[in-house]
Amino acid sequence: MGNICPRLWEYLKPCLPCFVREAGKPVAPEVTTENAESPCPPEAPRPRGCYFVALFDYQARTAEDLSFHAGDKLQVLDTSPEGWWFARHLETRAAGSGQRLEGYIPSNYVAEDRSLQAEPWFFGAIKRADAEKQLLYSGNQTGAFLIRESESEKGGFALSVLVEGVVKHYKIRRLDEGEFCLTRRRTFITLSEFVSHYTKISDGLCVKLGKPCLKVQVPAPFDLSYKTVDQWEIDRNSVQLLKRLGSGQFGEVWEGLWNNTTPVAVKTLKPGSMDPNDFLREAQIMKSLRHPKLIQLYAVCTLEDPIYIITELMRHGSLLEYLQNDAGSKIHLTQQVDMAAQVASGMAYLESQNYIHRDLAARNVLVGEHNIYKVADFGLARVFKVDNEDIYELKHEVKLPVKWTAPEAIRTKKFSIKSDVWSFGVLLYEIITYGKMPYSGMTGAQVIQKLSQNYRLPQPPNCPPQFYSIMLQCWSAEPRERPTFEALCCELEDYFETDSSYSDANNWVK
């Protein structure tokens, strides 16, 4: 900032916390007189760095945080609390309503003002299939559109538009001079200009651009509040148990309400099912794992029995029940591949963090609104106190992890990310059969014996060969020969691109 003019410097000073960050964390763009934006107050340029726009509505959960609506402007005053920034509301309507004007906000709910990310039509690096999914939600009408980063071309963009129930995709070309265009006939300096032009006239597009695609997939904040980032042993009286959602081997799961404001899921553990110290050690890691396809651990109550594990709430419960309930009447291959791809994406993140799930199965995947699937219960199997007899019960045909567990993990009791890949193959079987019990009619002992003779689950009826081939790769006898989750994720995300019978679905407009 050596050559910044003194008047601008005076104006920037209050914003300084935005630019002073710990090493390794993202740094706001450097403010120069070139990129400072229009004046506010009149004669002083308004720096972009600390002004943000809300991407989604947020309802305050504690007395210290701030409610806002999508589109509201906020000035961020402090970015040091990770995931929760301290901000000031700049909307006069909030001031008028007697609402709090300063407080904490979840940082993943805002984008820098006047940046591409703040545009309601910019959806970032989403896949084409995801763009179609989002545009096809009810609520969007012909003309609804979004711009996304191109999957195939680094630095490129694509426009996806809904026309009469079909999604069309256009490559936005970038000329050598940096302009954006669909054809050289008409070029634009910025994507905003591009959008503004095609919302006025169709000019060769299949339809004039209408409203931006609705952003229905609201991200969950990573914590209950800025306080529970570090203090996540919370008072159990702050959690009300409202409705029992289900039960498992080790306890019950309840829908709960934290601080009278925030819906959560509460796992209540049977006394003695784990050593609180072992659990806390594991929970420390679980809490730090953050990915949109993993159930977020929010907080725990371990000081007395029953231990509470407080997590993100998923409205549609377990994938196993979800598959069984609809039994193919509503769920089709595109959705089944999407489920698999989302789970693989969460698992690829665990793989990148050198973390092992140990109990991956459809019962441990949860279903949220708008076809969101997330991996739950990762790492918990490690801390549950179980008799090996219980887990590896071999005599009866009951729902036991043995049918999901890789043979080498059963033999040596050592789990690895590659034994998770084996389980993922069994999960694919559950997905494609709408939640059938794998190795139906066989006991655990029979399964183990048959697997050692190279037997594998047969290709289920209606399972495409391409899908079955992925399952077989996961069941390679040699763990090293099994694919990585990263490779599985790519393969599943591109599933329909490599299948020529689906090439029409690409809908690229030349």
Contact 273, 251 (CB under 8 A): yes
* Closest CB to ligand ATP among residues 253, 421: 253
* Catalytic member of 65, 338, 359, 377: 359
CB atoms within 10 A of CB 285: 13
- Ranges within 254-273 binding ligand ATP (CB under 6 A): 265
**Minimum Å distance from CB 272 to ligand ATP?**
15
- Ranges within 281-320 binding ligand ATP (CB under 6 A): 295, 311-314, 317-318
* Closest CB to ligand ATP among residues 336, 364: 364
Q: In what order do the strands lie in the sheet with 297-301?
A: 239-248, 251-258, 262-269, 308-311, 297-301
Contact 142, 164 (CB under 8 A): yes
Task: List the beta strands (DSSP E) in 150-199.
Answer: 157-163, 166-174, 180-183, 186-188
**Minimum Å distance from CB 294 to ligand ATP?**
11
Give residue 344's identity as a one-letter amino acid code: A
Distance CA 106, CA 86 (A): 9
Stretch that binds ligand ATP, among 3-11, 12-20, 216-224, 244-252 (CB under 6 A): 244-252
C-alpha distances (whole Å) from 408 to each of 412, 418, 443, 479 are: 6, 10, 18, 8
**Minimum Å distance from CB 479 to ligand ATP?**
24
Q: H or E segment at 200?
A: helix 191-200
Distance CA 314, CA 138 (A): 21
Contact 474, 421 (CB under 8 A): yes
Give residue 212's identity as a one-letter amino acid code: P
Stretch that binds ligand ATP, among 8-16, 202-210, 243-251, 389-397 (CB under 6 A): 243-251
**Minimum Å distance from CB 384 to ligand ATP?**
9
67 lies in the site for ligand ATP, by CB under 6 A: no
* Closest CB to ligand ATP among residues 66, 294: 294
Stretch that binds ligand ATP, among 186-194, 195-203, 246-254, 429-437 (CB under 6 A): 246-254
For 178, the token pair is 């940096």
Give residue 190's identity as a one-letter amino acid code: T
Quick one: which of 362, 342, 327 has its CA closest to 217? 342
**Minimum Å distance from CB 361 to ligand ATP?**
8
Residue whose pair of structure tokens reads 């309601």 in the numeric block: 120
DSSP three-state, residue 125: coil
**Minimum Å distance from CB 136 to ligand ATP?**
25
| Binder of ligand ATP out of 253, 274, 343, 451 (CB under 6 A) | 253
| Binder of ligand ATP out of 140, 273, 364, 419 (CB under 6 A) | 364
366 lies in the site for ligand ATP, by CB under 6 A: yes
| Binder of ligand ATP out of 33, 59, 249, 503 (CB under 6 A) | 249
DSSP three-state, residue 342: helix
274 lies in the site for ligand ATP, by CB under 6 A: no
Distance CA 44, CA 13 (A): 13
168: DSSP letter: E
* Closest CB to ligand ATP among residues 363, 482: 363
Distance CA 132, CA 130 (A): 5
- 359 catalytic per annotation: yes
* Closest CB to ligand ATP among residues 320, 488: 320
Quick one: which of 335, 342, 343, 505 has its CA closest to 432? 335
Residue nearest to ligand ATP (CB): 248
Distance CA 49, CA 64 (A): 23
Contact 157, 194 (CB under 8 A): no
| Binder of ligand ATP out of 65, 112, 130, 377 (CB under 6 A) | 377
| Binder of ligand ATP out of 52, 84, 145, 250 (CB under 6 A) | 250
**Minimum Å distance from CB 250 to ligand ATP?**
5
- Give me the half-sphere count of Cα atoms (radius 13 Å) on the Cβ side of residue 509: 18
CB atoms within 10 A of CB 315: 12
φ/ψ of residue 184, rounded to 5: -60, -20
Stretch that binds ligand ATP, among 77-85, 100-108, 120-128, 239-247 (CB under 6 A): 239-247
Q: What angle do CA 291, 102, 124 make, to 5 degrees?
A: 35
**Minimum Å distance from CB 9 to ligand ATP?**
49
Contact 26, 60 (CB under 8 A): no
328 lies in the site for ligand ATP, by CB under 6 A: no
124 lies in the site for ligand ATP, by CB under 6 A: no
The contact mask relative to ligand ATP for 172-211 (x = CB under 6 A, - = no) is ----------------------------------------
Size of the site for ligand ATP (CB under 6 A): 21
**Minimum Å distance from CB 350 to ligand ATP?**
17
User: Would you tell me which residues interact with ligand ATP (CB under 6 A)?
Assistant: 245-250, 253, 265, 295, 311-314, 317-318, 321, 363-364, 366, 376-377
Known catalytic residues are: 359
